[in-house]
Amino acid sequence: MNYLALRQAIQGQFMIMGGADLEKKGNTKFRTIDGQTVYHTSSAQFNIDHLFNGGVRPKRFGTFHHPYLLIGMPDMGGVVNVYVDTRFEGYYVMTAAVKLDKWANGPSGWVMDAVCWTEKQPKDTIAIAGQRLIRSLIYNMDDLEEHETTSDSFTNESWQDDWIPSENIKEAFIEVRGE
């Protein structure tokens, strides 16, 4: 269930019953953010065969609670930890580890996979690239079109009480969703 939640809510990939996975060809740009191209697994594919090899885990960049991590009856929430991984030649890669709330899924383990990535730029730091990547993740979760950078879906909601973003990613959430 955690894997399904990761694929649908975070990676923007949906399960197709009775058919093969749709193949993605090449890297289709998701957006340009701060003048840099960002790719997202909803429109591109990144080779992550060695994501977990070597026992080295990237440093956690932020965390938030996603109240609709798995939509159903009832919706199931869960925790999303995001990491910026620098081990890939020429790229900053944001990975996400998700785990549904225990009441919804019982005891379970974390699942992790790549979500979005951007090419390393000369003046980039993990913090700068990470802000670009977290905005990409939020744009995709909030189903914003290419020309949109803000969501009106949360206009009359106190979304912060449900989503609880950590301090270093809170500003990106507020930028997209408002206070």
Q: Is residue 49 part of a domain?
A: yes
**Burial class, 102, CB count within 10 angstroms (exposed 0-12 / middle 13-18 / buried 19+):** exposed
Domain count, the chain: 1
Residues near 159 by Cβ (< 8 Å), separated by ≥ 6? 173, 177
Strand residue runs (E) in the chain? 31-33, 36-40, 60-70, 76-85, 91-100, 111-119
Q: Give pLDDT, residue 87.
A: 85
Number of residues that make up the chain: 179
22 in a structural domain: no
State mean pLDDT over 160-169: 95
Model confidence at 15: pLDDT above 70: no
Q: Distance between CA atoms of 102 and 170, rounded to whole angstroms? A: 24
pLDDT tens-place string over residues 62-98 = 999 999 999 888 899 999 999 999 888 899 999 999 9
- Mean pLDDT, the chain, as a whole number? 88
Distance CA 11, CA 99 (A): 14
- For residue 17, the model assigns a pLDDT of 58
Which residue's structure tokens are 């697994």? Answer: 41
User: Which pTM was predicted?
Assistant: 0.89
Domain assignment of residue 172, yes or no: yes
In a domain, 23, yes or no: no
pLDDT level of residue 49 (50, 70, 90 thresholds)? low
Residue range(s) defining the domain that contains residue 109: 2-17+29-177
Structural tokens at position 108: 């379970």
Residue 56 has pLDDT above 70, yes or no: no
Is the residue at 60 inside a domain? Answer: yes
